[in-house]
Amino acid sequence: MSNVKGAAIRPKIGIVVESAASNLPAFMKLLFGYVRVSTVKQSEHGSSLQEQRAAIESYARRYDLTIVRWFEETETAAKRGRSVFTRMLAAVQAGEADGVIIHKIDRGARNLRDWADLGELIDRGIDVHFAHESLDLHSRGGRLSADIQAVVAADYIRNLRDEVRKGFYGRLKQGLYPLPAPIGYVDRGGGLAKEPDPIAGPLVRAAFELYATGVFTLDQLGVELHRRGLRSHSGKRLSRSGLSGMLNNPFYIGLIAIRNTKELFQGVHTPLITKDLFDRVQAVLDGRAPHHGLRNQFLFQKLLRCAGCRYRLTAERQKGFVYYRCHTKSCPKTCLREETVDRAMVSQLEAITLSDEEVNDLRTLALELRAEWEVKRGEELGTTKLNLAKAEERLARLTDAYLDGALDRDLFENRKKSLLLERKDLQERFGRMAADHEPLTFKLSKFLELARRAPLSYETGNLFEKRQVVQSVTSNLTVDRENVAIALRSPFEALANREKIAIGGPFRNGLRTQTRKIFGILIDYFKKEPDEDYREAA
């Protein structure tokens, strides 16, 4: 605090008012009041700010000082660059007030650089008052006492920051996320893992699945997710940056990434998606996978080709109807309405629909194949478990090397990230085998479910869901003038071309020969295309 008695001998900025007691001019000093709290929660509660204001106002009345403007800040003083504090100092230096009144030294100077800024004001003869401390800042003893308090305050905040950091990293090492839950998860309190939100969780999973198709831009994805009911924490539609952050966040595969330090930790929360799906989304985001958002949404846009020139037909709306036209001048006129293609598509979907008897026969054959796989499953589980243990060992050795100083931080974090992702792959592989999903029969089951439900999904789905069915089932759609030819993908083609045999007595093996033939075609296809993934339209 500046010495109030000694301050009268220095020139000051102020206003002249008439003294009520003597009717003589009296000099009145104009000062700023500065109050600060460290957290938004303290600001919302308001008690700390009110107490600081009351103490400053009482001090101003006691020494006949006038507060002409208040500066209120909600930001920790441990960091440099507090916007309100900096603006107040600039205003004082510009001559807008005679000085400032702050509640306590630690409210204005919990780091030494800010204390140095206040010290410069004092050295220039500008009044700096602290309502809680009775110090003469223009005397050597008072300044020394204030310097000691400022150093103690700076040490306190450094120690507090270290303790908070220890607690923060302690949670991370336990696999817990010590920050608010991202969209799709809910908080369960301190010391507990985040849990998937029963409503938002499936919508977040759908966001990854939709974007992995390469059909949606971020803007289109935001519109679709908003239509389905996904909202930001503030209840609004997710922005482009919000969607980008969500799609890049490995939290959804069970890992915790700290953006500022680029560190990665294994989480104990339940993942919402697989690493394979996350990787496919990253490929689209990075441009390593096709990404072609549709400007104008039409059911068969970019899916129909002219039989003559092989160019894609152009979709356009005329008088309330959607037409697909070929604009190549040398081609015979090719133009047809969307309803024509739609009817052809429905006919093809009906052709691949399996009866309940056919599905049951195919599942019986799948059980025979599964019995053979069971023999190999135990060996593969053991191998994967061994590889997982090796990955854990390499991760432990890497940590030891870092602690011993053999690796610098950047190299350690890069290798750690690679090992965590490798371990995640092995964990998911082990989980799939442990979940008892035989690869071929699992794919067959998904394929049969899609074949059974494709007509209904196409009939009742929205535009994107219909397109998903078309792209899952067909390999090529060709138009010759007003006729459309639909080529089915290999396994679906086998179903569409299967012989229609009447239900009769079973053969000696208990199953019809035609069913075994279809089963063989499907299994051969799945063996050649091991990564093919048959999913229902989202």
Asked if residue 461 and residue 408 are part of one domain, the reply reads no
pLDDT in tens, 334-351: 788 899 999 999 988 888
DSSP character for 312? B
Say whether both 144 and 35 belong to one domain: yes
- Give the mean pLDDT of 168-188: 89
First to last CA, the chain: 68
Question: Which residue, of 436, 455, 472, is where some domain finishes?
Answer: 436
* Residue 23 pLDDT > 80: no
In a domain, 315, yes or no: yes
Helix (H, G, I), strand (E, B) or coil at 431: helix
Same domain, 95 and 209: no
In a domain, 363, yes or no: no
Residues 247 and 280 in one domain: yes
274 shares a domain with 193: yes
From 250, 285, 320, give the residue that closes a domain.
285
**432 and 336 share a domain?**
no
Q: Would you place residue 535 in the very low, low, confident or very high pLDDT band (cuts 50, 70, 90)?
A: very low
Instruction: Say if 257 falls within a structural domain.
Output: yes
In whole angstroms, give the CA distance from residue 27 to residue 19: 9
CA–centroid distance for 170 within its chain = 23
Least confident piece of the model among 85-99, 314-328, 335-349, 433-447: 433-447
Domain assignment present for 86: yes
- Which of 109-113, 401-405, 438-442, 451-455 reaches the highest mean pLDDT? 401-405
The single-letter code of the amino acid at 169 is Y
Instruction: Output the pLDDT for position 290.
Output: 66
Which has more pLDDT, 70 or 406?
A: 70
Same domain, 518 and 466: yes
pLDDT of residue 252: 95
What is the distance between the alpha carbons of residues 136 and 139, in angstroms, rounded to a whole number?
A: 6
Indicate the range of 126-130, 137-141, 260-264, 419-423 predicted with least confidence.
Answer: 137-141
- Give residue-wise pLDDT tens across range 204-256: 999 999 898 887 888 888 988 998 899 988 888 999 999 999 999 999 999 99
Query: Structurally, how many domains does the chain consist of?
Result: 4
Same domain, 425 and 454: no
Domain CATH for 230: 3.90.1750.20
Q: How many C-beta atoms surround the C-beta of residue 33 within 10 A?
A: 25
Summarize the confidence of residues 21-44 as an average pLDDT. 62
- Residue 505 clears pLDDT 60, i.e. is over it: no
Which pLDDT band holds residue 502 (cuts at 50, 70, 90)? Answer: very low
Length of the chain: 538
Among 20-29, 65-74, 451-460, the range scoring the smallest mean pLDDT is 20-29
Both 512 and 398 in one domain: the answer is: no
CA 261 to chain centre: 17
How many CB atoms sit inside 10 A of residue 67's CB? 19
Domain that holds residue 49: 6-157
Q: Radius of gyration over alpha carbons of the chain, in Å?
A: 36
pLDDT of residue 292: 61
pLDDT 10s digits, 475-487: 889 998 888 999 9
> Rounded to the nearest 10 degrees, how much is the dihedral formed by the CA atoms of 227, 229, 230, 232?
100
Instruction: Check residue 63 and give left, alpha or beta (phi > 0: left; psi -120 to 50: alpha).
Output: alpha
- My answer on whether 447 and 424 are in the same domain is no
For residue 534, the model assigns a pLDDT of 46
Shared domain for 224 and 264, answered yes or no, is yes
